[in-house]
Structure 1
Amino acid sequence: MLFGVIALLLFGYLYREITGFEQERIDDWLIREHAQLKRELPDVLVARFEHQNQFDPRRQRPFGLFDASGKHLAGGYAGDQPAIPVFDKPFSMRLANLPGHPPGRCIAARLPDSRIALQCQNTLELDHFDDELLHALLSTAMITLVIGLIGASLIGISAMRRLDAVTASIEEIVAGNLSRRLPVHSKRDDVDRLVGVVNGMLDEIERLMNEVKGVCDAIAHDLRTPLTRMLGGLERAQRRAKTEAEFRAVIDETIMETSGLLRTFNALLRISEIESGVRRAGFASVDLAAVADDVFEFYEPAAEDRQISFELRRTVSGPLEIQGDPNLLFEALANLVENAIKFAPHGGAVRITLWQHARGAGLTVEDNGPGIAPAERDAVLRRFYRGEASRHTPGSGLGLSLAAAVAAMHGMMLEFHNADAGCEISLFKPTQSHLAHNR
């Protein structure tokens, strides 16, 4: 309808301009004739009007000269003087004394001797042209409106089909099928761009839901064993313990198990806090080199106790500045170093390397322990996941999950590298060109 209204307005404008141009052309001619008439001598006007009448047998331009009483003196406009609404300006009227009373455009002049000179242009053909033009424009406007409505209907049907398909997919997703995605059209238009964003959101929601389910399953699985041990120990103490020392031993064991459970839950809460991004508002400029120095100093005694060679190597001079939270970055790097020291063999080696190049700026933690199999590298970032190499090592399986959460919060990447022996993990802030290349 909007398209049709615009078309009607356009055709109305064309009609007014075209007809107005024709009338303006006639008025210009009348004004020129009127000016010429004013310059003529009164004695020659009768001869001039009669001469003009001889060369206008069809009365297309009837002129008339009338005396003061309105009687016809000369010219092709026969009969008495008609009523004249205005002098010296063009006006429209019916040429009543001509056959068929055609419409006309006229100009009248009052001469010094009280005679009236009337000059007209028969506009019957012009009116016929205007009628034909109006008919043609209205017909074209109706055709345009019909075509516009048909086109709008086709577009609307296509859009409704797409909306129906999207609605059906959303209803299926709401019903519980999180693997369903909104359909993408082959045209890749603006709607498909929106659908692509929504599908990406659904991928993330599905991942989070699966992660929540995995976390719940992992909590139930990993906490069942310590809770069972606690319950069994308390029941044995209830049945068998006789002395204060035996009761104290059971209490100490229960406290140890409870402390481990609290550490696990604190780690989960810590990861949730980091993933919520509430601490992003407090970001400031942080020197990764200074964070690495603090972590190295903190874990150096633990490495010495296990006779592990612990090294901090710098490949760049000066600070490595990024925007972030120094405490969270310390915690992430500490988890990587703690895992490296934990899994490095007695008398092994652990190294922290600071670097900066085209990929970005960051640090790499290396050890010569059992390493992580390539097939498990994505899995170890999930909460509570324990690889085969770490299944019998104390821990909750949350260290790498926490490091990954900190990296995501800071726009950093946690990347595994293929190493000849052991494990090699990098935590770094990528450059824009590196991100574009990965996309």
Structure 2
Amino acid sequence: MNRTDAPRAAQPLRLWRSAGLRLAALFGFLVLLTMLTTLALVYLQVSTVLHRNLERQLQQAQQRLALQYAHEGPQATAQAIGHMLQDGRDTDLELVLLTTPDGRFLAGNLAVQALPPLALIGASAHPVALGSQGITAQLLAHRLPDGAMLVLGHDLRELRDIESTLATASLIAGLFALSLALVSTWFFRRELGRSVDALHQTMARIAGGQLHERVPAQAARDDEFARLEQDFNHMLDRIEQLMAGVTHVSDAIAHNLRTPLTRLRLRLQHAHDGAADAAALRAALGSAMHDIDDLSRVLDKLLSIAQAESGTRRAPFTPQAWGEIGADVVELYEDLAEHEGVTLTWECTHPAPLLGDRSLLAGALVNVVDNAIKYGGRGASVRVQSRSARDADGAACSEIWVQDDGPGAPPEALATLGERFLRLRPELPGHGLGLASVRAVMQLHGGSMRLEPARPGLRVALRLPQHTP
């Protein structure tokens, strides 16, 4: 074998390593085996029924002639045999022989010397001579009481023609089944190979860094492979979203933490170079410790957001209610609201049942209420309300909203609220991570955070699918 023949010889082996081809071949083999088994059973059943019917007809004719022989004698029986061979019904297929007790011919269309040795029990097929031609016939022999022999038979040529026709039809059907199996194998291999190859090629491109690649989906198809492709694309969307979040967090940390780190270093450098007494040194160290604690809180907040977005902080969801969570959060913030000169009111118009992690949901609501009190300002009024709502598809939702009558936010800024480190009012304390954390928690629970102008003020609504116990 030369080198050019080696790849050709290895090609079938490579094809057979394909799981899709093996499954398709197994499917085709099972289809072919089922069809051939069915055809064989049909052939055997039909052949058995035809032979049994023929044997039953011979037995009935034999009983009739034997009874006539016993009551009317040999001559009447011979006449009856003559009439039977001339009545026009299967006369070219019927075979009859009646002999005398000493074995001489008495009536029929068979010669005594043409008969093979016959058993006296049951009908069987034998080659016989009929005139100048040899045939195969089903013969049934019966010994009469006086020693005479009665033999009845039937030419099997017509029966064999029926069996031959049935065998030919079975062969044609078998060839059709083989063609169907081959076509099914090819079609199954093509469909499975198309979907698997599309997944493989997409994964290869993604491994090469092209995270925007997706499996081509055909809207007209709605089978298992199409749903698998859709789920795979959704997974890729989620991965790309998480990667974008990681990139954004990295950029945000590099940009937003550089300033406090620089400030911290300058303070420590100043204390190292110019602190004249212990009091100044302690003040510098205290300020540095405050900055470090502030940075630690920022990193903890970023970590909690990343965990919520990736789902690693997800505990088993249990039945909860916005009504209970809202009442606890409002009770927690009543003293702070009073100290800040803000009126905080709570309305539970519906228990708003849901499935979720109570600590995460309470933390999200705490962030929203804290922002409302902080940005509403002294003299503002903050309302918290739980209610039942409907989404765009008409499904029942559980919602809690927090509304203040403070200065609110510009309409063009509503779309960007919730991004990390975004602060509309930098003069107020904070890091711009509160609403980002809320959005991540709501996405983890399959819900949403909506921000709407309240004129005056701002309304933040947290919506989750309603849970029906």
Encode CA deviations 1:153-196: one digit per residue, 9 max, x unaligned: 24533543443333222211222111111111233322111111
Alignment of structure 1 residues 84-233 onto 2, 5 Å: 84-185=117-218, 186-233=220-267
Secondary structure of 2:406's counterpart equals coil
2:344 to 301, 310, 316: 310
Counterparts in 2 of 1:7 and 1:205: CA distance versus 1, 3 Å: same
Counterparts in 2 of 1:396 and 1:154: CA distance versus 1, 3 Å: same
Distance 2:352 2:221 in 1: 45
Distance 1:414 1:405 in 2: 9
2:363 to 323, 331, 334: 331
Distance 2:171 2:410 in 1: 78
Distance 1:141 1:334 in 2: 74
Matched, 1:289 2:317: no
Matched, 1:271 2:305: yes
Who is 1:437 aligned against? none
- Structure 1 stretch 205-214 or stretch 340-349: which is displaced more? 340-349
The aligned amino acid for 1:385 is: F
Identity %: 27
Who is 1:355 aligned against? 387
Distance 1:101 1:21 in 2: 25
2:45 to 14, 17, 21: 17
1:40 to 68, 86, 94: 68
Once the two structures are TM-superposed, the CA of residue 87 in structure 1 deviates from its matched residue by 2.5
Encode CA deviations 1:189-220: one digit per residue, 9 max, x unaligned: 22111111111111111111111111111122
* Structure 2: runs of 5 or more not aligned: 1-28, 391-395
Once the two structures are TM-superposed, the CA of residue 340 in structure 1 deviates from its matched residue by 1.0
Once the two structures are TM-superposed, the CA of residue 229 in structure 1 deviates from its matched residue by 0.8
TM-score w.r.t. length of structure 2: 0.82
Distance 1:18 1:326 in 2: 73
Once the two structures are TM-superposed, the CA of residue 130 in structure 1 deviates from its matched residue by 1.7
The answer to whether the 8 A contact 2:116-2:128 is kept is: no
Distance 2:85 2:356 in 1: 99
2:435 to 388, 400, 404: 400
- Structure 1 stretch 218-227 or stretch 163-172: which is displaced more? 163-172
The aligned amino acid for 1:420 is: R
Who is 1:385 aligned against? 421
Distance 2:140 2:373 in 1: 110
Distance 1:372 1:207 in 2: 27
The answer to whether the 8 A contact 2:409-2:453 is kept is: no
Secondary structure of 1:397's counterpart equals coil
* Structure 1: runs of 5 or more not aligned: 434-439
The aligned amino acid for 1:16 is: L
Distance 2:260 2:148 in 1: 127
Who is 1:256 aligned against? 290
Distance 2:348 2:173 in 1: 79
Once the two structures are TM-superposed, the CA of residue 121 in structure 1 deviates from its matched residue by 0.6
Distance 2:443 2:293 in 1: 29
2:455 to 395, 420, 437: 420
Counterparts in 2 of 1:126 and 1:269: CA distance versus 1, 3 Å: same
Encode CA deviations 1:233-291: one digit per residue, 9 max, x unaligned: 1112222222212211210110110010111122233335555365533x555453343
Give the aligned length. Answer: 428
Who is 1:298 aligned against? 332
